[in-house]
Amino acid sequence: MSGSFESHIALKGLDGEQLAELALLGIRYRALGAATIDFSDPSRLDVYWTGKRMVEKAVKDAVKARRGDPLADTKCGIAQGHLAALLNCSVIDNETYMTQYRLLLNRTR
């Protein structure tokens, strides 16, 4: 890694392979039509979700779906999938998982 990358706080500790993966994600992001992000505007950063926020939204959507709604089971399944996947990848902690899973079970059943 060159000196200019090592001095950037977000890239500290990345090896060459990790930096290449990050570059590929950036290239894919651009290929999908993304524009440059103005990081000085805090409202623009709100679209970037943490695992916890993603799980909370999925559970909220599942809870909002009425039990009689044909999409209720689908939304519940999506929320359960998000919970399991993000916990298994260590994106969310066990406390977040248990809190959201209990909420999901209590509200959708």
pLDDT at 1: 45
Q: Is the pLDDT of residue 104 over 50?
A: yes
Condensed to tens digits (0 to 9), the pLDDT of residues 3-48 reads 566 677 777 788 888 888 888 877 777 777 777 766 677 766 665 5
Residue with tokens 């039990």: 67
Q: Which two tokens stand for residue 59?
A: 């559970």
Q: Is the pLDDT of residue 2 over 60?
A: no
Cα 102 to chain center, whole Å? Answer: 20
Condensed to tens digits (0 to 9), the pLDDT of residues 44-67 reads 666 556 777 778 888 888 878 766
pTM of the predicted protein model: 0.48
